A and B are shown apart, each in its own frame.
Chain A
């Protein structure tokens, strides 16, 4: 077993400084984030509140009609424990007209529509609240591609994107995120009883061990199998990482001229700040 524990004090300092730096250097003071009731957005909210002051953070709850009451309640606990501003904007009336046009729409399509509707709400609030959207995607889901492109993955900065789910849980616990938020099974909450681990077919605890070896320690898949992981599990995860690379990069631009964005027009986002 790889020990994925992190020093919470150090992680928190680096991440809160990051949020403050990336938001204030471009002239903003405020952050906006979606609060689902899950641990990832709870941690992002705690970090943003610490970085900017709770009065400068707006947490938005965006339930759909089938969303669990528990999710709303847990999100409310995070709002109360951090003292951030909050708002509840149900997305049912936004998404149902589109969903209802297609009788045969599967749950993936529905889930993607909901995720993108939430993105629209957050970016609208970002303009209204004059803040930047803080992302809530962890390293495990980024590597596995377990997110909706231009949906929940859309943000201006993502403080927790280099923390595995296991580490998100540990840091959340150490920073005082309510226990009910941390200990419940992670879920996209798109339908009753849905869980991430049910969708993925393995647990975060298992896959984080494997991802750490593959990605951080640069083990070959064969070396992972020799370390005791099932070959079918290793192969499925490797395939998933590769297949979802498109979600992790900007769309390719076809090069025609001498200087092209993405290839030889290279500047950091923080250019000039």
Chain B
């Protein structure tokens, strides 16, 4: 089975939901004209990233009662979509969310679990923490969705793997940092390393969509990539500029890789559960240095 995947590496207007929606619809048109099956937008693609006090003014409810979100749901009749937005729940908590839309339905909403609140990040000040990670079924098989800092915690891709995800869709608004003599920034290299590792260790597809553009002096570096279950790079978008990265994914590669390398078959989840329970019951232990 094949899936024509597209990663939409866009710039956004900070706080301009209507303008960002229009851009989504334009990219959707372009992707449809190229017969894309699944189109992934980056983290907070509907709002921009450094929202601060804009958070409550740009939030949406991911259903047809929201006039703007309704347009995205309607567009999902043409192709499957992943969009990034601020979700306000029924008790007025705000989440960084990512939704998978297909055939006019909201199949899944992931609320970002790990909110970086250190260094240049301040998400925990403005957003509520998601508390669930779930794989879900799509017409291309079972999928896992994570947002940026989520996939810096190895436990979440691991849990999705165990929950059946064969395609990991990661989205980011990753600010570029770490200029050296290398042709890419440290931040680009770090993300490449870990995503390649997940694809290799979990023998899954990993697709990472990162945005571009500037918000004040911070810039997002793009460089969206698709990895196959062997950890090979299937497609790579340019860095620092907008792009629509289209990549046909042959899902039969899962079969071939897992015959060669049955890591999923051999994973000893009962051992993980037993040892983790033991470790957590022991409380803090000294570092030993």
Residues of A near any B CB (own CB < 8 A):
3, 5-7, 9-11, 13-14, 17-18, 21-22, 157-158, 161-162, 264-273
The contact sample of 10 A-B pairs, CB cut-off 8 A, is A7-B182, A17-B240, A18-B214, A264-B53, A265-B53, A266-B52, A266-B53, A267-B54, A268-B52, A268-B215
Total interface residues on B, CB under 8 Å, equals 23
- Give A161 to B218 CA distance when docked, in angstroms: 12
Q: Does B78 contact A (CB under 8 A)?
A: no
Q: Top 7 A-B pairs ranked by shortest CB distance?
A: A266-B52, A21-B214, A266-B53, A5-B181, A268-B50, A6-B179, A268-B216
A residues near B53, Cβ cutoff 8 Å: 264-267
Contact yes or no, A18 B185, CB < 8 A: no
- In the complex, whether B217 has a CB less than 8 A from a CB of chain A is yes
Residues of B within 8 A of A (CB): 13-16, 50, 52-54, 176, 179-185, 213-217, 219, 240
Q: A21-B213, A268-B52 are in contact. Are A11 and B15 (CB under 8 A)?
A: no
| Interface pair A267/B52, CB less than 8 Å apart | yes
- A264–B183 CA distance with the chains assembled, in angstroms: 39
Inter-chain contact B13/A18, CB cutoff 8 Å: no
Q: How far is the CA of A272 from the CA of B211 in the complex (A)?
A: 17
Q: Which residues of the other chain, A, contact B215 by a CB distance below 8 angstroms? A: 268, 270
Q: How far is the CA of A264 from the CA of B122 in the complex (A)?
A: 13
The distance from the CB of A216 to the nearest CB of chain B, in whole angstroms, is 9
| Distance to closest chain A CB from B219 (angstroms) | 6
Contact, CB under 8 Å: A271 / B14? yes
Bound together, the chains give a CA A114 to CA B15 distance in angstroms of 40
* B213 in contact with A272 (CB, 8 Å): no
Q: Complex: how many Å from CA A3 to CA B214?
A: 28
Which residue on chain B has the smallest CB distance to residue A161?
A: B217
Q: Is the pair A273, B14 in contact by a Cβ cutoff of 8 Å?
A: yes
B183 and A272 form a contact (CB under 8 A): no
**Are A272 and B179 in touch, CB under 8 angstroms?**
no
Contacts of B184 on A, CB cut-off 8 Å?
10
Report how far A158 CA is from B217 CA in the complex, Å. 9
How far does the alpha carbon of A3 sit from the alpha carbon of B219 in the complex, in Å? 24
Q: With A and B bound together, what is the CA distance between A272 and B47 in angstroms? A: 10
CA distance A21 to B216 in the complex (A): 9
Q: Given the known A-B contacts A13-B240, A17-B219, A268-B50, are A273 and B13 also in contact in the complex, defined by CB atoms under 8 Å?
A: yes
Q: Which of B185, B213, B217 contacts A10 (CB 8 A)?
A: B185
Which chain B residues border A9 with CB–CB below 8 Å?
A: 183
B14 touches A270 (CB 8 A): yes
CA distance A267 to B53 in the complex (A): 6
A21–B220 Cα gap in the complex (Å)? 12
Cα(A24)–Cα(B54), bound, Å: 22
Task: Give the residues in chain B near A5, CB-CB below 8 Å.
Answer: 180-181
Judging by beta carbons under 8 Å apart, are A10 and B214 in contact? no
Which A residue's beta carbon lies closest to that of B240?
Answer: A13
Residues of A within 8 A of B213 (CB): 21
**Which residues of chain B come closer than 8 Å to A13, judged between CB atoms?**
240
Whether the Cβ atoms of A6 and B13 lie closer than 8 Å is no
**List of A residues within 8 angstroms of B180 by Cβ:** 5-7
CB distance from A169 to the nearest CB of B (A): 15
Given A7-B180, A266-B52, A268-B216: 19 more A-B contacts, CB < 8 Å: A6-B181, A7-B181, A7-B183, A10-B185, A13-B240, A14-B240, A17-B219, A17-B240, A18-B219, A21-B214, A22-B216, A265-B53, A267-B53, A267-B54, A268-B14, A268-B50, A271-B15, A271-B54, A272-B14
Given contacts A21-B214, A268-B215, A270-B216, contact A10 B13 (CB under 8 A): no
Instruction: For the complex formed, measure the closest distance between the CB of B181 and the CB atoms of chain A, giving whole angstroms.
Output: 5
**Residue of A whose beta carbon sits closest to that of B15:** A272
Q: Are the C-beta atoms of A269 and B219 separated by less than 8 Å? A: no
Measured CB to CB, the nearest residue on chain B to A25 is B214
Given the complex, which residues of A lie within 8 Å of B52, measured CB to CB?
Answer: 266-268
A18 CB to nearest B CB, Å: 6
Which partner residue on chain B sits nearest A21 by CB separation?
B214
Q: How far, in Å, is A176 (CB) from chain B's closest CB?
A: 19
Residue with the highest number of chain A CB atoms closer than 10 Å, among B16, B52, B182: B52
Measured in the bound complex, the distance between the Cα atoms of B40 and A226 in whole Å is 50
